[in-house]
């Protein structure tokens, strides 16, 4: 894994799949509601809902473990959830009844009186030390409509209440896919769904990150949270890469000029694509591929046309990838209602030599 090639781990001879003090992690809160970076130190804390919890209990746990916020004598703390054999996938608990669901919701009346527990009751339970899960169970027991709901809606109800009263944290390794989604989520909170063009870009970035290659980040007006990126001790992307704002060693610059770059990725949403492309494409070695991302089609169309007329590139294509997620459940499979539709456009192509006269054979 990438993590194996990271110096930090090599020196400490760590199992890269278990966290250690000082390592960077991603915290997935409430099943993707919020994803954030953290460094696991004795003093670091995370705010979940209105509660501040220490990250200490996460140190030494395998990536992939889940935690829940519990409230103890000394206040809120994160407690490891031992995975049950039932698992936590929506719809799992309805195996036997799902096919012939006999309940329907004809008798359900939504008049706000269905729940007999008041918020005072809940506060009271809390004071007496009830866990989040116990509160959820109490809410279900006191819901007059729960029994009448279909198994599917019951599950939905449970998950909704769990998120509120027993918020969960999932411990993840910081990988490019998750990082970008975390920083995207920070940038545009309304748009945190996966988008394929971004994935294709990330994939391209990952390919460039092999230890034998240089990754040069030419970002100037960066709107990505660079601090988070440079935090990623375990990511191969920082290997040998020259960070934005840092001057590359002369030796490296010389070698780039001589050899040309072996690929080019441009994602500069606020800049005119052609004005960058015409400067950067000539730095590529011949036959090297490039890809340019833009959220609008028109700048890429202009770019493609110019590259064509200037005979700088071939095999050009503008594509718009669409990602569609599906809910897969017995007898209830359908595309998700909210789909990310288009995450933007990609112009890809291959640089060619400029020489254009037939040579004598």
Q: What is the DSSP letter of 61?
A: P
- Residues between 63 and 122 with contacts to another protein, criterion CB under 8 A: 63-66, 83, 87-89, 92
Does 141 interact with another protein (rule: CB under 8 A)? no
> Which is nearer to another protein, 135 or 351 (by Cβ)?
351
Q: CB of residue 313 vs another protein: minimum separation in angstroms? A: 10
Among the listed residues 17, 47, 191, 254, the single contact to another protein using CB under 8 A: 17
Q: CB of residue 358 vs another protein: minimum separation in angstroms? A: 4
Say how many residues touch another protein, by CB under 8 A: 76
- Binding track over 327-346 against another protein, x by CB under 8 A: -xxx--x-x---------x-
Cα angle 107, 113, 118; round to 5: 140
> Which is nearer to another protein, 130 or 291 (by Cβ)?
291
> Which is nearer to another protein, 76 or 91 (by Cβ)?
91
> Which is nearer to another protein, 126 or 158 (by Cβ)?
158
Side-chain-side CA neighbours of 274 within 13 Å: the count stands at: 15
Q: CB of residue 325 vs another protein: minimum separation in angstroms? A: 5
Does 272 interact with another protein (rule: CB under 8 A)? no
Bridge partner list, 215 = none
> Which is nearer to another protein, 139 or 303 (by Cβ)?
303
Q: CB of residue 150 vs another protein: minimum separation in angstroms? A: 19
The answer to whether the beta carbons of residues 221 and 244 sit under 8 Å apart is no
Buried b (16+ CB within 10 A) or exposed e, 226-259: eebbebbbbbbbbbebbebeeeeeeeeeeeeeee
* Among candidate residues 152, 151, 155, the one with its CA nearest the CA of residue 136: 155
Among the listed residues 75, 269, 279, 286, the single contact to another protein using CB under 8 A: 286
Q: CB of residue 78 vs another protein: minimum separation in angstroms? A: 15
Q: What is the DSSP letter of 30?
A: T
Does 356 interact with another protein (rule: CB under 8 A)? yes
Query: Distance between CA 181 and CA 361 in Å, rounded?
Result: 54
| Structural tokens at position 152 | 């599917």
- Residues between 27 and 56 with contacts to another protein, criterion CB under 8 A: none
Residues in CB range of 188: below 8 A, 6 or more apart: none
Residue owning tokens 């395998």: 62
Side-chain-side CA neighbours of 59 within 13 Å: the count stands at: 14
Q: What is the DSSP letter of 360?
A: P
- Residues between 247 and 266 with contacts to another protein, criterion CB under 8 A: 259-260, 262
Does 352 interact with another protein (rule: CB under 8 A)? yes
Does 2 interact with another protein (rule: CB under 8 A)? yes
| Structural tokens at position 192 | 């945190």
Candidates 34-42, 67-75, 102-110, 302-310; binding stretch for another protein (CB under 8 A): 302-310
Bridge partner list, 81 = 66
| Structural tokens at position 186 | 């920070």
- Residues between 171 and 230 with contacts to another protein, criterion CB under 8 A: 173, 175-177, 194, 196, 199-200, 202-204, 206-207, 209-213
């Amino acid at each position: 894994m990438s993590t194996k090639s990271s110096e930090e781990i090599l020196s400490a001879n760590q199992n890269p799949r278990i966290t250690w003090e000082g390592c960077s992690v991603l915290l997935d809160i409430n099943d993707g509601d919020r994803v954030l970076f953290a460094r696991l130190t004795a003093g670091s804390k995370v705010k979940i809902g209105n509660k501040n919890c220490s990250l200490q209990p996460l140190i030494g746990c395998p990536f992939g473990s889940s935690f829940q916020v519990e409230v103890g004598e000394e206040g809120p703390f994160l407690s490891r959830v031992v995975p049950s054999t039932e698992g936590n996938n929506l719809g799992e608990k309805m195996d036997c009844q799902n096919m012939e669901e006999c309940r329907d919701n004809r008798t359900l009346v939504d008049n706000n009186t269905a729940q007999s527990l008041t918020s005072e009751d809940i506060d009271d339970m809390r004071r007496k030390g009830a866990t989040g899960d116990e509160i959820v169970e109490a809410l279900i027991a006191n819901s007059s409509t729960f029994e009448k709901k279909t198994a599917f809606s019951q599950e939905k109800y449970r998950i909704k209440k769990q998120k509120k009263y027993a918020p969960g944290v999932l411990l993840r390794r910081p990988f490019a896919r998750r990082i970008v989604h975390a920083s995207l989520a920070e940038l545009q909170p309304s748009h945190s769904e996966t988008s394929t063009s971004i994935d294709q870009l990330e994939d391209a970035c990952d390919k460039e990150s092999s230890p034998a290659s240089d990754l040069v980040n030419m970002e100037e007006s960066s709107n990505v949270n660079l601090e988070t990126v440079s935090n990623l001790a375990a990511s191969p992307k920082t290997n040998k890469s020259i960070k934005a704002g840092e001057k590359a060693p002369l030796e490296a610059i010389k070698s780039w000029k001589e050899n040309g770059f072996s690929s080019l990725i441009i994602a500069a949403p606020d800049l005119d694509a052609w004005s960058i492309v015409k400067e950067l494409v000539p730095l590529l070695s011949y036959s090297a591929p490039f890809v340019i991302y833009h959220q609008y089609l028109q700048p890429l169309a202009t770019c493609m046309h110019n590259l064509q007329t200037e005979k700088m590139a071939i095999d050009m294509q503008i594509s718009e990838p669409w990602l569609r997620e599906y809910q897969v459940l017995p007898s209830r499979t359908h595309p998700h209602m909210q789909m990310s539709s288009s995450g933007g456009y990609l112009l890809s192509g291959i640089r060619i030599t400029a020489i254009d006269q037939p040579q004598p054979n």
